[in-house]
Chain A
Amino acid sequence: MDLPSGSDGAMTRGGGGDRVAALRKTVLATLGAVLLATSGWSFYQSRRLPEPVVLGPGVTRVRTLGEYFAGVRGTVNDCRLYFLEGEEPGGTVLVLGGTHPEEPAGRLAAWLLVENGRMAAGRLIVVLSANRSATTVTRLGGAYPPDFSIPTPWGERTFRMGDRWSNPLDQWPDPEVYIHYPSRQNLAYVDIRNLNRTWPGRPNGTLTERTTYAFMELIRKEGVDLVLDLHEAELQYPVISTIVAHEKGRELAAFVSMLLTDTEFKMGMEYSPKTLHGLSHREIGDHSQAIPLLFEAPEPFLDATRGRTTREALLTGKDEFVKRAGQAGLLFETMDDNGWPIDVRVGRHTSAVLVTLEVWTDFYPDRPLRLEGVPRYADVVALGTGHWLQNPASAPPGRVVVE
């Protein structure tokens, strides 16, 4: 690889030429170091962008996932768990935000629960970053923005954009074929880093498998009755604007679907396939006492036929190309000039959680779950998601933590 000297203005060997070459190399090396430092700093900051969480009046405890399973303690996925405990006893519900961080409405809805919610009866455990590793990277080659900001009455709150899969810096390499544990079903290789393909996990597995195992330990040890997993889906994906329910929760999900469709917005319901493994709505139900439900809201930003992946497109949910795909009959959800703004998507999730808890309390009055203070769909759409995000600067001392 030692290349000969060129003649096109290159240096000739000798004292003067060597000095010029050394000077040139020094200048180039300095430029390279500057490039390395600026790009490296940018990546470093993106990975560690602090996301403040104001502990609302209903948050009684903050724990970490590592307290339930030492295999994730101290890792990037040792995420926080926010406990909202009511004065009246009741059931226990776990809400998972950030299973797929690139579906931000799920995370933001969970944020609104933590910053506004109070449990009158029962316990609510909220996770904002179920796969925290996946919040530190964006889809490789997807040109996604590293973060986005939600306007609020007092300024902006900035959140990491995140990805569907754990960061390859935290778990790598992927196998040729991912063999799911314990079913031994063959899945796409990349899904070994997908938190919603590794349930119920295993204690000696990969980081993502250990994370789902830790959540299973949490569900078992805390006696969780109900798990709500908040997602978003591309409009070209048939599982959209719907609840996916384990058979243990089919009546609950059917009632929630009917109530939401009748009173707030269209929401479908379908069964979790018994032969598709690794998903929360299948494995949590099969391997614990809890009833798992997964909620999907529409996110055009994820569609394969989308246009530019800008911050504006993420927040407005507008995309000319996805709209044209809809005109060609290629979508499973409507898409018009209004798009699917982030407030609509977040509001769908907050109302879905509230209605689910209301129906649960009707079904199981001996284990009530009564949540107050959380905005419904109409409130979030009318006032915006940012209206319900609290200002960390004016929060009481000790009531702000960072995700």
Chain B
Amino acid sequence: MVLFQGVITFLYYLLVACAAGLMLWNLLRSRRWEEEVLYLLVVLPFLLRLFRLK
């Protein structure tokens, strides 16, 4: 149980890091300000989780 928790948590944080990376990448590539704002707002909770702040 505890081992599974550890593995799942590790994979989860990996997933969060990938999703955050993709959103930051799209933020850089986007040419429309509306999309840039959207990516910025969506990536914030991912970063907060990645940094174990929330």
Contact = CB atoms under 8 A, between A and B. Distances in A.
Given A36-B44, A44-B53, A206-B1, A3 B37 contact: no
A360 to B, nearest CB: 38
Given A39-B44, A43-B53, A173 B5 contact: yes
B48 A43 contact: yes
A204 B32 contact: no
Given A25-B27, A28-B36, A40 B22 contact: no
B5 A172 contact: yes
A190 interface: no
B8 A173 contact: yes
23 contacts: A3-B30, A3-B32, A3-B35, A10-B33, A11-B31, A25-B27, A29-B27, A29-B40, A36-B48, A39-B48, A39-B54, A40-B48, A40-B53, A40-B54, A43-B48, A43-B54, A169-B52, A171-B5, A172-B5, A173-B5, A175-B1, A204-B2, A206-B5
B47 interface: yes
A1 interface: yes
Contact of B9 (A1, A6, A173): A173
Interface string B21-54: 0100011111111111100100110011001111
A31 interface: yes
Contacts, number: 71
Interface string A66-106: 00000000000000000000000000000000000000000
A36 B47 contact: yes
A39 B27 CA distance: 21
Contacts of A366: none
Nearest to A178: B1
A39 B52 CA distance: 12
A29 B36 CA distance: 9
A345 B53 CA distance: 33
Contacts of A171: 5
Contacts of B54: 39-40, 43
A204 B35 CA distance: 47
A28 B40 contact: yes
Question: Interface on chain B toward A: helix, strand, loop, or mixed SS?
Answer: helix
B12 A205 contact: no
A276 to B, nearest CB: 22
Contacts of A6: 31-32, 34
Contacts of A204: 2
Interface in A18-44: 21, 24-25, 28-29, 31-32, 35-36, 39-40, 43-44
A63 B29 CA distance: 56
Contacts of A24: 33, 36
B53 to A, nearest CB: 4
A57 B31 CA distance: 67
Nearest to A7: B32
A62 B8 CA distance: 37
Interface string A200-243: 00001110000000000000000000000000000000000000
Contacts of B30: 3
Instruction: Please provide the 6 A-B residue pairs with the shortest distance between their CB atoms, ordered closest to farther.
Output: A5-B31, A6-B32, A40-B53, A32-B40, A43-B54, A43-B53
